[in-house]
Amino acid sequence: MTVTAFTNAALVCPVRGEQRATLLVQDGTILGTGDAPADATVIDCAGKTLAPGLIDLGIFKVDRAAARAGGIVRVGLMPDQSPVLDDPGIVQRAALIGKPDLWIHPIAAATRGLAGTDMAEMAICASAGARAVGTGRGWIADAGVMHRVLAYAHDLDLAVITHAEDGGLAAGAVATEGETATRLGLPAAPAIAEALAIARDLMLAEETGARLHIRQVTTAAGFDLVRAAKRRGVRVTCGITPAHLHLSDIATTDFRTFARLSPPLRSESDRQAALAAVADGTIDVIASGHDPHGPEEKRLPFVDAAPGMAGAETLLPLALMLVRDERLSLAKLFEKLATNPARILGLDTGTLEPGKPADLLLFDAGAPWQILGDRFASAGNTPFDGLPVQGKALRLWKAGREIA
Asked whether residue 380 carries a pLDDT value surpassing 90, the answer given is: no
* Domain hosting residue 236, numbered range: 52-352+367-393
Residue 173 three-state SS = coil
Is residue 43 assigned to a domain? no
Within a domain: 59: yes
23 located within any domain: no
What is the mean predicted confidence (pLDDT) over 188-205?
Answer: 98
Structural domain includes residue 341:
yes
Number of domains in the chain: 1
Residue 334 lies in a domain: yes
- List Cα–Cα distances, 69 to 103, 313, 338, in angstroms: 15, 6, 16
Residues β-bridged to residue 60:
none
Task: Please give the order of strands across the beta sheet that includes 212-214.
Answer: 54-59, 72-77, 103-109, 132-134, 160-162, 212-214, 236-240, 285-286
CA distances from 291 to 62, 77, 258, 267 (A): 9, 11, 11, 22
pLDDT, tens digit, 9 for 90 and up, residues 104-156: 999 999 999 999 999 999 999 999 999 999 999 999 999 999 999 999 999 99
Under 8 Å between Cβ of 162 and 212? yes
Residue 331 CA to residue 365 CA, distance in Å, equals 13
Length of the chain: 404
**The 3-state secondary structure of 241-290, one letter per residue:** CHHHHHCCHHHHHHHCHHHCCCCCCCCHHHHHHHHHHHHCCCCCEECCCE
pLDDT of residue 331: 98
- For the chain, the first-to-last Cα distance in angstroms comes to 21
pLDDT confidence of residue 1: 73
List the single range of 124-133, 185-194, 203-212, 292-301 with lowest mean pLDDT: 292-301
CB–CB of 160/79 below 8 Å? no
The answer to whether 188 and 175 are in contact (CB under 8 A) is: yes
Average pLDDT of the residues in 304-330? 97
Residue 238 and residue 284 in contact, taking contact as beta carbons nearer than 8 Å? yes
pLDDT for 231-244, tens place per residue? 999 999 999 999 99
Query: Which has the closest alpha carbon to 64: 99, 105, 108, 107?
Result: 99
Rounded Cα distance, 212 and 159, in Å: 6
Predicted local distance difference test score (pLDDT) of residue 404: 85
pLDDT band at 377 (very low <50, low <70, confident <90, very high): confident
Helix locations, 128-208, DSSP H: 143-156, 167-170, 179-184, 192-208
211-222 mean pLDDT? 98
CA 276/CA 223 separation, integer angstroms: 10
Return the pLDDT at 97.
92
25 pLDDT tier (thresholds 50, 70, 90): very high
Reported as a pLDDT band with limits 50, 70 and 90, residue 378 is: confident
Using a pLDDT cut of 90, give the percent of the chain over it: 97
Question: What CATH number should be reported for the domain holding residue 233?
Answer: 3.20.20.140
How far is it, in rounded angstroms, from Cα 110 to Cα 206?
A: 18
pLDDT band at 200 (very low <50, low <70, confident <90, very high): very high
358 within some domain: no
> What residues form DSSP beta bridges with 29?
26, 357
Pseudo-torsion of CA 364, 367, 369, 373, nearest 10°?
A: 10
Question: Which tens digits make up the pLDDT trace of 28-38?
Answer: 999 999 999 99
Residue 19 maps to a domain: no
Report the pLDDT averaged over residues 6-26: 97
Q: Are 400 and 28 within 8 A, CB to CB?
A: yes
- Output the pLDDT for position 250: 97
- Looking at residue 70, its pLDDT comes to 97
β-pairing, 29-33 vs 17-26, is: antiparallel
For 341-372, write each residue's pLDDT tens digit.
Answer: 999 999 999 999 999 999 999 999 999 999 99
pLDDT at position 253 over 90: yes
Distance of alpha carbon 281 from alpha carbon 327, whole angstroms: 11
Q: So what's the pLDDT on residue 379?
A: 74
228 lies in a domain?
Answer: yes
